[in-house]
Amino acid sequence: MRTFAIAASVAALALSLAGPASADPIIIKFSHVVATDTPKGKGAEKFKELAEKYTAGKVKVEVYPNSTLYKDKEELEALQLGSVQMLAPSNSKFGPLGIREFEVFDLPYILPDLKTLRKVTEGPLGTRLLKLLDAKGITGLAYWDNGFKQMSANKKLVTPADYQGVKFRIQSSRVLQAQFKALSSLPQVMAFSEVYQALQTGVVDGQENTWSNIYTQKMHEVQKYITETNHGYIGYVVIVNKKFWDDLPADIRDQLSKAMKEATEFGNTQSQKENDDALAEIKKSGKSEIIKLTAEQNEAMRKAMEPVYKDAAGRIGQPLIDEFVKEAKSTTN
């Protein structure tokens, strides 16, 4: 009996020296719909690395790429319900959610270059747009780049007339619908994960996307032509469930904000390189013919899309469009 008591005392002492059991880490499920080797994919992996490092393992980030957890149409609802904590949806996704102001990013030719984009997203205008997400139970953390879009199809797209009757896959966006209707095309909303097969089987004839998305999703293998238009921009807003974010301990939230800031700088620096590398690989593959427009052909495309601005003004608000245009002019002057 005495031996048992001594053993019990020794065991109790060992437990007291070991201290309390370490708490389970806070889990952040980060879901996105593109490949890991894209600007968004690499940004997500960098955030995971830095978040776990800066919180000393108190946070564990689980990244789910390529729609393995949720598809385009499901992810925002999943975030609002708390089934996933973090997403990086494209700007287009917020219009259907009722925050139409984000549709301004979809307007053709409104952002001429990355310098203009930075002025918007890193300035008071970008901050103001992020605050609009609060009412939907969402906290906006950062803007991530993908790049500028190109047009692809199984026919040459050179003049606006070439787009007539072409079935184009689009994201769910009233602006993008208006864009292709202005070209007399047939826009069809479709999840990103379904685009390759839809192109392969002829469900749609063409699509618009960045070089990195075209290459990593192998779209160039099922599209004969890609026209270098740089007509529109694809960017993402990194968002988190507001209640989850607000309930985090202040020190953890600060460390995650630091990780997000650095991951954003890393990802946005990478995006141009990823697109340049993807374009080079597409050219090397020889599977798609790259078409470059002349200045006159490019201007004809701009003119054909002018009605999109009028269509969007009623939903987005003319003052916001004017503010974007003003920023663009002040950057290029």
Q: What is the pLDDT of residues 183-208, one digit of tens each?
A: 999 999 999 999 999 999 999 999 99
- For residue 233, the model assigns a pLDDT of 93
pLDDT band (50, 70, 90) for residue 23: confident
pLDDT band (50, 70, 90) for residue 327: confident
Place of tokens 């065991």: 11
- For residue 21, the model assigns a pLDDT of 43
Place of tokens 């597409």: 282
pLDDT band (50, 70, 90) for residue 328: confident
Q: What is the pLDDT of residues 272-301, one digit of tens each?
A: 898 999 999 999 999 999 999 999 999 999
Mean of pLDDT over the chain: 91
Q: What is the pLDDT of residues 71-108, one digit of tens each?
A: 888 999 999 999 999 999 999 899 889 999 999 999 99
* Residue 275 neighbours by CB under 8 Å, 6+ apart: 39, 146, 147, 148, 210, 211, 212
Neighbours of 313 (CB within 10 A): 15
Q: Over range 113-120, report the average pLDDT.
A: 89
Q: Amino acid identity, residue 131?
A: K
Pairing type for strands 86-87 and 186-189 reads: unpaired
> Residue 4: CA atoms inside 13 Å, Cβ hemisphere, count?
1
- For residue 28, the model assigns a pLDDT of 98
- For residue 2, the model assigns a pLDDT of 45
- For residue 22, the model assigns a pLDDT of 56
Considering only 88-102, 143-157, 232-246, 254-268, which range has the smallest mean pLDDT?
A: 88-102
